[in-house]
């Protein structure tokens, strides 16, 4: 183990930066667990890097890289000693904060009288390790949806208050990434308790520059073997982040409908957001909506992997006797018929109307509703669309040929 | 509260493997509750008592494959206030609808020593091709929780609420990684209706085989085009589509187009 001051007295203050050896990451997990946190870490499962409960760092995807493009996701194993050089997987913080299925009410009839109760159990404190900048911005958007409107979602609020985030600065960007277009990355700028920047690999001793984002982050870090980061380490970390940002900014994608380049490399995404709200709202009858509807499966994958999509449906479940009932909130999607079902029937009757609803809300009317775009540029909707529909291409097609 | 007359339930079998009726028996714990909530008036697989119709709810398993059954379904319809088809056979014709693409007489000659004794139709068709159906329960076999939900809803005069969206919705709710995207496996999930119980096959790292038939807004042509670009050939895709729900219109039409 690298030479460290164990448990620096007084702890770290917000804004301070520490150096943590790679193998001390497990000490960080143990410090969190001692404080009662359930710990969730990245791991390889079913051919992808997902979030899963873990008690230690044994199953971290060390040396694993992901390659993503429209409708494809593949992993490869390198012999590099890198902890977080994959980018984003199918899961996001949404899976833990806005639960896929959540009981909201249960009722029981006793002697002819109904007794209703709402779940009141306080949530288990949760620490998630490996979160990226795009996902922290997505979380901030979901906070607006669930906490900052007229109605506050109490269960979300309780989970959110008990959430500890160990974020990671990306060192790679995928072809599907376009956080630079959305102003959400790649550099971490907000929303974390601790932020790790990984340095080194096989050639040199690796470790993390750890930035302290909150007091509780500093407290936890004080229980982990660390030392103050040197100026050289801090500037190296900053330079690494700056270089990735520059690489993204310099992407020259060319027109979306350009012929595929000679190489087999996937197209590097970006999204021109200039005037995007009006662009989409002024082109609601553009022929591109018909075009995309030919390809769209209306399967809802894009909305469900989207870290900001927040639609839900309520299911009423009763036992056979009708004496016990419960109500559950489940993830829903604007690609389903039930989503637009009203008294007179289904409002959005075809895939064209449903895709248009999704994209126009995500990129245009979301701004009216929440003062921010609903897209953070994580690219999940592109990767996890089984037919590889790419929203950046759809927008570019509309922009390039305004009717 | 005055005693309410228990609703009478009948279960009828047509051309099928009995698996969907077994799903009802498989309810075990809930079966006693079910028997309390409704009167099981006619269910040959479960009890010898046979009460005469009319019935409040008729569950129909199986497809129409003989002239005799074609006439019998009309009688069944007349005896049932609500007619609910259960399973892929009853809702689309089942696996036996593969005969719709084959030479029926040739089959008879191969299988039976004296085919003259056999009186069957050249096709296997859904119950709704013959009579009005009030509700269709998908699956091969049906999901027992859905079955209970439907019976319980009809028993209390309610409209059942079952999903018609894609299997993908269940995969994502379960946190299951998409096998089509991460492994390049030809999966029917995006065009198949949810309901099997949390996307059963993908949860076990297999592709969806389409047991629940087409989802509400299926686009199998786009999905086939994608799989073909990933070097899944047409015959493989046709086999995938011509399975438990080969005769469901969206799967049937795409299978025909691909085998063109």
A11 inside 8 A of chain B by CB: no
Give me the residue spans of the domains in chain B: 7-155, 167-259
pLDDT for residue A2: 41
Q: Does the structure show a pLDDT above 90 at A30?
A: yes
Lowest mean pLDDT among A165-174, A260-269, B29-38, B169-178: A260-269
Task: Give the per-residue pLDDT at A1.
Answer: 39
- The residue that leads in pLDDT, B145 or A301, is A301
**How confident is the model over B41-52, as pLDDT tens digits?**
999 998 899 999
What pLDDT, in 10s, does the model give residues B97-113?
999 999 999 999 999 99
**Minimal Cα–Cα distance from A304 to chain B, Å?**
6
- Taking CA atoms, A338 is separated from A323, A325, A331, A347, A388, in Å, by 27, 21, 12, 9, 25
Contact between chains at A387 and B179 (C-beta distance less than 8 A): no
Phi, psi of B50 (to 5 degrees): -125, 105
> Would you state the pLDDT for residue B5?
83
Share of chain B above pLDDT 90, in %: 84
How close, in Å, is residue B6 to chain A by CA atoms? 12
Which pLDDT does position A36 carry in this prediction? 97
Determine the angle formed by the axes of helices A133-147 and A154-161, rounding to 10 degrees. Answer: 140
Lowest model confidence (mean pLDDT) among A339-343, B163-167, B242-246: A339-343
Answer for the pair B10, B43: CB distance below 8 angstroms, yes or no: yes
pLDDT greater than 80 at residue A202 = no
Q: Which residues pair with A314 in a beta bridge?
A: A329
Report the C-alpha gap between B148 and B132 in whole angstroms.
Answer: 22
What's the confidence (pLDDT) of residue A255?
53
Range in A45-54, A129-138, A192-201 the model is least confident about: A192-201
Question: Which residue among B172, B179, B218 sits closest to A305, beta carbon to beta carbon?
Answer: B172
Is the pLDDT reported for residue B31 higher than 90? no
In chain A, what are the domain boundaries?
A: 2-98+121-251, 276-308+334-400
Q: pLDDT value at position A203?
A: 58
Q: Are B183 and A304 inside 8 Å of each other by CB?
A: no
C-alpha–C-alpha distance, residues A336 and A302, integer Å: 12
pLDDT surpasses 80 at A264 = no
- Using the predicted structure, report yes or no on whether residue A321 has a pLDDT greater than 80: no
Mean pLDDT of A202-226: 90
Cα atoms found within 13 Å of the Cα of residue B192, Cβ hemisphere only:
33
Instruction: Determine, for residues A295 and B191 on separate chains, whether the beta-carbon distance falls below 8 Å.
Output: no
Residues 6-65 of chain B whose Cβ lies under 8 A from any Cβ of chain A: 30, 33-34, 36-37
Mean pLDDT over residues A251-259, rounded? 57
The verdict on a CB contact (< 8 Å) between A46 and B205 is: yes
Instruction: Provide the 8-state DSSP code for A339.
Output: G
The pTM assigned to this predicted structure is: 0.94
**Chain B residues touching residue A95 (CB < 8 angstroms):** 175
Please report the pLDDT score of residue A267 as a whole number.
Answer: 87
* Contact present, B170 and A34 (Cβ < 8 Å): no
Q: Which residues of B touch A351 (CB under 8 A)?
A: 217, 219
Give the model's pLDDT for residue A261: 52
The contacts of residue B114 (CB under 8 Å, 6+ apart) are: none
pLDDT of residue A253: 57
Q: What is the pLDDT of residues A87-131, one digit of tens each?
A: 999 999 999 999 999 999 999 999 999 999 998 889 999 999 999
What mean pLDDT value characterizes chain B?
A: 94
Query: What pLDDT score was predicted for residue B1?
Result: 45
Closest partner CB to A322 (pick from B156, B187, B225) = B156
Q: Inform me whether the pLDDT recorded for A244 exceeds 60.
A: yes
* Span B172-203, pLDDT tens digits: 999 999 999 999 999 999 999 999 999 999 99
Select from B177, B185, B197, B223 the residue whose CB has the most chain A CBs within 10 Å, as the one to mutate to test that interface.
Answer: B177
Domain topology for B7-155: Rossmann fold (3.40.50)
Q: Is the pLDDT of residue B167 over 50?
A: yes
**pLDDT at residue A201 in the model:** 66
pLDDT, mean over chain A:
92
């Amino acid at each position: 183990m690298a030479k460290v001051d164990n448990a620096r007295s007084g702890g770290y203050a917000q804004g301070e930066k520490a150096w943590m050896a790679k193998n001390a990451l497990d000490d960080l997990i143990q410090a969190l667990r001692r404080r009662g946190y359930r710990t969730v870490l990245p791991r390889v499962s079913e051919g992808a890097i997902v979030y899963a409960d873990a008690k230690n760092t044994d199953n971290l995807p060390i040396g694993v890289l992901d390659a993503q493009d429209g409708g494809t996701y593949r992993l490869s194993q390198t012999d590099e000693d890198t902890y977080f050089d994959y980018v984003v997987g199918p899961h996001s913080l949404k899976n833990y904060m806005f639960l896929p299925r959540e009981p909201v009410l249960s009722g029981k009839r006793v002697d002819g009288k109904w007794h209703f109760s709402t779940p009141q159990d306080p949530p288990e404190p949760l620490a998630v390790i490996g979160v990226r900048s795009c996902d922290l911005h997505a979380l901030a958007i979901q906070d607006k949806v669930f906490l900052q409107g007229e109605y506050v979602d109490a269960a979300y609020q309780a989970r959110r208050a008990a959430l500890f985030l160990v974020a990671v600065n990306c060192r790679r960007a995928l072809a599907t990434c376009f956080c630079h277009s959305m102003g959400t990355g790649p550099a971490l700028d907000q929303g974390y308790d601790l932020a790790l920047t990984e340095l080194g690999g096989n050639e040199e001793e690796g470790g993390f520059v750890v930035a302290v984002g909150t007091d509780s982050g500093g407290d936890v870090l004080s229980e982990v073997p660390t030392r103050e980061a040197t100026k050289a380490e801090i500037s190296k970390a900053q330079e690494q982040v700056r270089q990735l940002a520059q690489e993204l900014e310099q992407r020259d994608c060319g027109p979306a409908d350009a012929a595929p380049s000679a190489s087999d490399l996937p197209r590097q995404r970006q999204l021109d957001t200039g005037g995007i709200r009006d662009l989409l709202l002024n082109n609601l009858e553009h022929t591109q909506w018909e075009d995309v509807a030919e390809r769209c499966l209306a399967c809802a994958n894009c909305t469900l992997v989207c870290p900001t999509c927040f639609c839900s449906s309520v299911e009423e479940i009763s036992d056979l006797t009708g004496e016990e009932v419960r109500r559950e909130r489940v993830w829903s999607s604007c690609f389903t018929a039930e989503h637009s079902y009203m008294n007179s029937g289904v409002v959005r009757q075809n895939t064209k109307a449903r895709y248009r609803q999704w994209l126009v809300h995500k990129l245009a009317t979301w701004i009216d509703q929440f003062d921010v775009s609903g897209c953070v540029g994580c690219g999940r909707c592109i990767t996890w669309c089984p037919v590889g529909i790419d929203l950046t291409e759809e927008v570019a097609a509309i922009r390039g040929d305004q009717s | 509260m005055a005693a309410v007359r228990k609703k009478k339930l009948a279960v009828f079998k047509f051309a099928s493997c009995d698996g969907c009726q077994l799903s009802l028996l498989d309810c075990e714990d809930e079966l006693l509750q079910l028997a309390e909530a409704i009167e099981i008036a006619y269910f040959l697989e479960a009890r010898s008592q046979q009460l005469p119709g009319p019935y409040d709810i008729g569950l129909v398993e199986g497809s129409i494959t003989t002239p005799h059954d074609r006439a019998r379904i009309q009688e069944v319809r007349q005896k049932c206030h609500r007619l609910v088809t259960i399973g892929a056979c009853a809702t689309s014709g089942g696996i036996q609808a593969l005969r719709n693409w084959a030479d029926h007489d040739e089959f008879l000659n191969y299988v039976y020593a004296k085919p003259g004794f056999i009186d069957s139709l050249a096709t296997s068709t859904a119950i709704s091709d013959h009579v009005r159906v009030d509700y269709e329960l998908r699956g091969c076999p049906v999901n027992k929780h859905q079955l209970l939900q439907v019976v319980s809803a009809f028993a209390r005069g309610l409209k059942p609420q079952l999903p018609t969206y894609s299997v993908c919705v269940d995969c994502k709710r379960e946190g299951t990684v998409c096998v089509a995207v991460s492994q390049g496996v030809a999966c029917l999930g995006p065009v198949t209706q949810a309901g099997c119980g949390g996307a059963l096959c993908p949860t076990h790292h297999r592709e969806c085989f389409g047991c629940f038939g087409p989802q509400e807004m299926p686009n199998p042509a786009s999905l086939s085009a994608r799989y073909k670009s990933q070097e899944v050939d047409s015959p493989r895709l046709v086999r995938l589509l011509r399975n438990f729900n080969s005769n469901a219109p969206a799967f049937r039409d795409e299978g025909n187009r691909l085998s063109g």
